[in-house]
Amino acid sequence: MVLGPCVADYKKIRLIAHMEGDLGPLLPYLNAVLPQASYTPKAETLTFMDGYRMIALYPKRITIAKADEIVDAWLTLERIRFLAEQTWRDRDRIAPSFETRKKPPALEIFKRLPGTNCGRCGEPTCLAFAMHVWTGEISASRCLPVFEEGGKFSRLREPLLEICAGMGITGVDRK
């Protein structure tokens, strides 16, 4: 295992876990069960977000970027291990997917926001908010003008949740 500073966010850490076994045969099954994943069959890589953490799976290693600290990285690695074991166990009921998906740009989220730059979400602009939703750092439901019942922008709620779901992003905070 290699632990180091994260290149994507200097306040976070990066973990590289080298594998004894081969994850290669599992990647198409994980691609099928993770709608937000991006799979590249030729390079044998599967990337996805776990909240704000960036995960990349290769046949012989797992990388986790933007982990808060070592315990967070370890817990994330454990979630990946559990997902991998469960997916492998259920592979007879899963149709492997060799599809290469591309995540639409954050601009698609931005187009479904009010564009008021009100800052009620905690971000300075709607574009900054869209970027953080796109990376999975925050939930779309933090856009209060869109999620206020009967509000001026509540008509944007369904399109916003729809684009988030299509990207594999959770649109609403879990309580």
Question: Looking at the domain assignment, is residue 101 inside a domain?
Answer: no
Whether 167 has a pLDDT exceeding 80, the answer reads: no
Question: What pLDDT sits at residue 33?
Answer: 96
**Chosen domain end from 93, 125, 149:** 93
Separation of CA 127 from chain center = 18
Question: Looking at the domain assignment, is residue 70 inside a domain?
Answer: yes
Q: Are residues 63 and 131 in the same domain?
A: no
Q: Are residues 23 and 84 in the same domain?
A: yes
Give the DSSP per-residue string, the chain. Answer: -EEEE-SS-TTSEEEEEE-SS--GGGHHHHHHH-TT-EEETTTTEEEEEETTEEEEE-SSEEEEEEESSHHHHHHHHHHHHHHHHHHHHTGGGS--------PPPTHHHHTTS------TTSSSSHHHHHHHHHTTSS-GGG-HHHHSTT-TTGGGHHHHHHHHHHTT---S---
**What is the per-residue pLDDT across 105-145, written as a single tens digit (0 to 9) for each?**
788 899 999 999 999 999 999 999 999 988 888 889 999 99
pLDDT bucket at 174, cuts 50 / 70 / 90: very low
Average pLDDT over residues 9-28: 92
Q: Are residues 68 and 120 in the same domain?
A: no
SS3 content of the chain, % helix, strand, coil (to 5): 40, 20, 45
Return d(Cα 116, Cα 101) in angstroms, integer: 31
Question: Looking at the domain assignment, is residue 42 inside a domain?
Answer: yes
Question: What pLDDT sits at residue 175?
Answer: 39
Structural domain containing residue 124:
107-166
Q: Are residues 85 and 112 in the same domain?
A: no
Question: Looking at the domain assignment, is residue 171 inside a domain?
Answer: no
Average pLDDT over residues 6-21: 86
**Chosen domain end from 93, 124, 157:** 93
Return d(Cα 141, Cα 40) in angstroms, integer: 31
Question: Looking at the domain assignment, is residue 102 inside a domain?
Answer: no
Q: Are residues 114 and 89 in the same domain?
A: no
**What is the per-residue pLDDT across 62-105, written as a single tens digit (0 to 9) for each?**
999 889 999 999 999 999 999 999 999 999 999 999 988 766 77
pLDDT bucket at 173, cuts 50 / 70 / 90: low
Number of domains in the chain: 2
Question: Looking at the domain assignment, is residue 53 inside a domain?
Answer: yes
Separation of CA 21 from chain center = 25
CATH of the domain at 143: 1.10.15.40
Question: What pLDDT sits at residue 122?
Answer: 95
- 113 or 50: which leads in pLDDT: 113
pLDDT bucket at 164, cuts 50 / 70 / 90: confident
Give me 170's structure tokens.
């959770």
